[in-house]
Amino acid sequence: MKTNDLMNFMDILFIVGGSYMLYGAFLLIKKNEIKKGLILSNGQDPSKCKDIEGYKKYIGPRLVTFALCAVITGAAGILRYKIPGFPEALYWIIYILFFASIVWFAISTKSAEKKFF
């Protein structure tokens, strides 16, 4: 397997994962359903949320932002190999922002668990 093939596979995983997170955000925002394992740690019970509306307002936009970062990162990675002359600096900026969003989202979910559960 070539490096480009492996990177394209990872980029596809970013897109699929980001799409799943968008689905989880939709369930949270529209149906008040909290996906266990996506935005809650495995030890938490979604039915024990003290304030579902407050939780939705707090974590919903953060989940959408994180999901979009994942999808954009995956798309940028694929474009990087498919379009000659794709700006390398732009790719790395997007990639760094994605990893910063991982840290930000992890901190946000822990904070939300403490506040709403």
Query: Could you write out the DSSP letters of every residue in 24-81?
Result: HHHHHHHH----BTTTB-TT--GGG-S-HHHHHHHHHHHHHHHHHHHHHHHHHHHHHH
Position 36 confidence tier, pLDDT thresholds 50, 70, 90: confident
Residue 5 has pLDDT above 80, yes or no: no
Domain residue limits at 79: 3-116
Number of domains in the chain: 1
Chain centroid to CA 43: 20
pTM value is: 0.88
- The band of 116, judged by pLDDT with boundaries at 50, 70 and 90, is very high
Token pair in block for residue 13: 């995983």
